[in-house]
Amino acid sequence: MCEDFVNNFTLCCVSSLPYSIFAAKVKALDISVKTFRIISTLEAISFLVLLGIAMPLKYIWDMPEMVSVVGMAHGVLFIAYLVMAYFMKEKLNWSWGTLAIVMLCSVLPFGPFYAERKYL
């Protein structure tokens, strides 16, 4: 009798929730294409600033401070780009080859701009 009550109570409570716990987690991880484009653009710009401004300042004019700041920002954006690229694979039904190309573009200057235009 107690077991029936627990099963009925659980079924009643779960069915009355507007979203199940699983659906809420999936919705929280739902990343829009617009968000991926923003991260992609910021990652590409940070990489170009790192290569074009910060590295010359460090090695030509002996001013390494900018490399640590821009390098940290680029590192965070790079990881975010890779994680979001995987979520875009799931959302847009990319093949593993397409995902590999998009991830390879993240290590090339101007690569994320190409990936954004071609695959989004």
pLDDT value for 120: 84
Rounded to two decimals, the pTM is 0.73
**64-108, pLDDT tens digit by residue?**
999 999 999 999 999 999 999 999 998 999 999 999 999 999 999
Question: DSSP alpha helices (H): ranges in 1-120?
Answer: 2-16, 21-29, 33-49, 55-59, 65-92, 96-105, 111-119
What are the two backbone dihedrals, phi and then psi, of residue 14, each rounded to the nearest 5 degrees? Answer: -70, -40
The Cα 85–Cα 17 span in angstroms is: 32
Interaxial angle between packed helices 33-49 and 65-92, expressed in degrees from 0 to 180 and rounded to the nearest 10 = 150
**7-29, pLDDT tens digit by residue?**
444 444 445 545 455 455 555 55
The Cα 114–Cα 33 span in angstroms is: 15
